[in-house]
């Protein structure tokens, strides 16, 4: 029942209003003065207040002002009653916040109409407010459970969906049934995002989602986990072949390119798979294990799927240990620099060496650079390690120059992260000056994949190094899927042919054709050519016959610690070219 508070000091008027309102089925609360009316308004929270203006002690304006200062009563519809019909009084009443103004005497019809209009208006406001609250709640609900970019359910939705399916699923006693969870990540997407820009990569992500959704069965629940990773709950299955078939089906959806801004973009995906109950029972733990399997796929090059295995826990634990320990490797003296000689194929003499970082871990012994260098890049330590290697290489080179090996060149590997640092050039020259090394004796080796990411920027960086008389070589050429034609625009000095093209070069027609042509083209461009990973006499003979400038590899020497490299130089060891050609 609607409650109406009547505040009126005239008893007869108050009683008349009560009769009129009760005949309309209103619940009437009476107050004989302003103070008691204020107290009853606070205590009973009426739906509407009818209040006389002229009252002793506390008039109607003061009552209204007091009510509006209290949050709980500030929005209660308020109608003034007064015998004064002066325009100024009316204006004062309305300006003070009253909803209406009735002049005494008034008819029952006028009173009821005024009250009904205010109640109707209040109801409309209430409905509008309720609808707005509902709309906001629905928006918040959507934001809580859905990703705003892909419009896919998010991690929270995935968790609830998993629990719902689990509640409905009855696993048989033999436990031959499996509830698979996929964790899928788009390979190289961070690099694609850098190349395309945020808006275009967002379009690409949406296009991928639409294509994936169309290919999936309605029973498969797809969610976006963030950071270009997706989670999927599959229906209960009894055979792993169904799971593998689905993974392959997803991969096949990526065979065709996506078109973004009239540009073709190819995607591939790494998929990790974990199983409820076999691998874990909690959805978060299942996702963690699926991610471990996914990371393993990524480490192996991506574009594949793998089931979780306990072996991955050992691998992950080792990886985490390496990440932590690498932070302290320099301070603990665990890092060292080994040097692999580079030999001239004209004289057979050592013409230089390549500085190679080595890590002797207290638990895992020697850690391959192929393992710890990518970790250093991921956790932001590559700058620190790269600078340290350059310092050690300069110190050792200075020592060898003091022994009389004045023409010896030092090659040092540089990562794209170092090259892109604004202060890399200045830091490098500072290191050379501190060790009294002339820049012409230093050669920075940059991988092909590092250079082709941004040819314009690479050219500027290399020209800046050349201006200091520091030479630059392209390392592992042939593994970055770029053409020599595109790279010839860069002012580098040396081309190093990757081991994969040197292996069995004398008997492998493909390697033979590639290597011989690379040497010819490089020489026509005025580049020096060094072959990496030379191990056999046959490989050496082929390179000599095709006028390769130099080699490095096990056929002459393994990478050596500084002390053993010193001995090798003092011994004057040479590659006996003529004997190798017999």
* Conformation bin of residue 306: beta by default, left when phi > 0, alpha when psi is -120 to 50: beta
Domains of the chain are 3-127 (3.40.50.2300), 155-308 (3.30.70.270), 332-571 (3.20.20.450)
Dist. CA 470–CA 394, nearest whole Å: 13
Give residue-wise pLDDT tens across range 7-50: 999 999 999 999 999 999 999 999 999 999 999 999 999 999 99
Give residue-wise pLDDT tens across range 135-186: 777 776 777 788 888 999 998 899 999 988 888 876 544 466 789 999 999 9
Angle between helices 283-299 and 155-168 (to 10 degrees): 120
Q: Is 487 helix (H, G, I), strand (E, B) or coil?
A: helix
As to burial, measured by CB atoms within 10 angstroms (0-12 exposed, 13-18 middle, 19+ buried), residue 576 is: exposed
> Which has more pLDDT, 460 or 97?
460
Q: Pull the structure tokens for residue 166.
A: 């689990």
Give residue-wise pLDDT tens across range 321-380: 888 999 999 999 999 999 999 999 999 999 999 999 999 998 888 888 888 988 898 888
Dist. CA 222–CA 153, nearest whole Å: 7
> Chain-centre distance of CA 210, in angstroms?
21
Give residue-wise pLDDT tens across range 514-547: 888 888 888 888 889 999 999 999 999 999 999 9
Q: Pull the structure tokens for residue 57.
A: 């002690």
Q: Is 482 helix (H, G, I), strand (E, B) or coil?
A: coil
Q: Let me know: does 272 contact 257? Beta carbons within 8 Å.
A: no
Q: Give the pLDDT confidence score for residue 482 in this predicted structure.
A: 47
Q: Is 458 helix (H, G, I), strand (E, B) or coil?
A: helix
Q: Is 109 helix (H, G, I), strand (E, B) or coil?
A: helix
Dist. CA 524–CA 519, nearest whole Å: 9
Give the model's confidence band at 189: pLDDT under 50 very low, under 70 low, under 90 confident, else very high.
confident
Write out the DSSP string of 167-228.
HH----TT---BEEEEEEEETTHHHHHHHH-HHHHHHHHHHHHHHHHHHS-TTSEEEEEETT
Q: For residue 288, give the nearest of 264, 316, 267, 263 by alpha carbon.
A: 316
CB atoms within 10 A of CB 57: 9
Residue with tokens 């609250």: 133
Q: Is 527 helix (H, G, I), strand (E, B) or coil?
A: coil
Q: Give the pLDDT confidence score for residue 99 in this predicted structure.
A: 86
Give residue-wise pLDDT tens across range 396-438: 999 999 999 999 999 999 988 888 888 999 999 999 999 999 9
């Amino acid at each position: 029942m609607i409650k109406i508070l009547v505040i009126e000091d005239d008893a007869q008027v108050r009683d008349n209003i009560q009769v009129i309102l009760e005949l309309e089925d209103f619940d009437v609360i009476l107050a004989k003065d302003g103070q008691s009316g204020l107290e009853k308004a606070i205590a009973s929270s009426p739906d509407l207040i009818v209040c006389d203006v002229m009252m002793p002690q506390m008039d109607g304006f003061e009552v209204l002002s007091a009510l509006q200062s209290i949050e709980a009563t500030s929005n209660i519809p308020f109608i003034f009653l007064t015998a004064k019909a002066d325009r100024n009084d009316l204006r004062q009443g309305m300006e003070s916040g009253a909803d209406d103004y009735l002049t005494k005497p008034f008819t029952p019809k006028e009173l009821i109409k005024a009250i009904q209009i205010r109640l109707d208006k209040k109801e409309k406001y209430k409905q509008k407010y309720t609808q707005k609250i509902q709309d906001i709640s629905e928006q918040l609900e959507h934001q809580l459970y859905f990703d705003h970019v892909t419009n896919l359910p998010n991690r929270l939705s995935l968790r609830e969906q998993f629990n719902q399916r689990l509640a409905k699923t009855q696993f048989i006693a033999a436990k031959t049934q499996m509830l698979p969870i996929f964790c899928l990540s788009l390979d190289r997407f961070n690099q694609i995002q850098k190349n395309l820009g945020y808006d275009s990569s967002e379009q690409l992500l949406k296009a991928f989602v639409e294509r994936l959704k169309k290919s999936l069965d309605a029973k498969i629940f797809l969610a976006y986990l963030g950071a270009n990773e997706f989670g999927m709950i599959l229906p209960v299955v009894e055979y792993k072949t169904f799971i593998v078939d689905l993974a392959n089906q997803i991969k096949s959806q990526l065979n065709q390119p996506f078109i973004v801004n009239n540009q073709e973009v190819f995607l591939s995906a790494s998929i990790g798979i974990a199983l409820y109950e076999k691998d874990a029972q909690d959805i978060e733990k299942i996702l963690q294990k699926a991610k471990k399997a996914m990371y393993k796929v990524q480490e192996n090059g991506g574009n594949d799927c793998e089931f979780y295995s306990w072996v991955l826990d050992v691998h992950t634990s080792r990886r985490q240990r390496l990440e932590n320990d690498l932070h302290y490797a320099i301070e603990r003296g665990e890092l060292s620099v080994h040097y692999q000689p580079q030999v001239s194929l004209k004289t057979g003499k050592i013409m230089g060496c390549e500085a190679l970082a080595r890590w002797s871990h207290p638990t895992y012994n020697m850690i391959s650079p192929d393992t710890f260098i990518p970790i250093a890049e991921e956790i932001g330590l590559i700058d620190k390690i790269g600078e340290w290697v350059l310092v050690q290489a300069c110190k050792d080179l200075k020592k060898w120059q003091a022994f009389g090996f004045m023409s010896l060149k030092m090659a040092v590997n540089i990562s794209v992260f170092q090259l892109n640092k604004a202060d890399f050039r200045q830091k490098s020259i500072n290191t050379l000056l501190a060790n009294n090394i002339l820049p012409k004796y230093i050669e920075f080796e940059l991988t092909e994949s590092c250079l082709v990411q941004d040819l314009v920027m690479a050219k500027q960086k290399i020209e800046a190094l050349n201006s200091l008389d520091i030479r630059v070589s392209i390392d592992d050429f042939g593994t970055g899927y770029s053409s020599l034609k595109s790279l010839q625009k860069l002012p580098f000095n040396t081309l190093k042919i990757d081991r994969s093209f040197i292996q069995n070069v004398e008997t492998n027609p493909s390697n033979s054709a590639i290597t011989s042509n690379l040497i010819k083209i490089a020489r026509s461009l005025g580049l020096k050519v060094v072959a990496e990973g030379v191990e056999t006499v046959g490989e050496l003979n082929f390179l000599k016959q095709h006028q390769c400038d130099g080699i490095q590899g096990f056929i002459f020497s393994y990478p050596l610690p500084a002390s053993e490299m010193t001995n090798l130089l003092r011994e004057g060891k040479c590659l006996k070219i003529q004997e190798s050609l017999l």
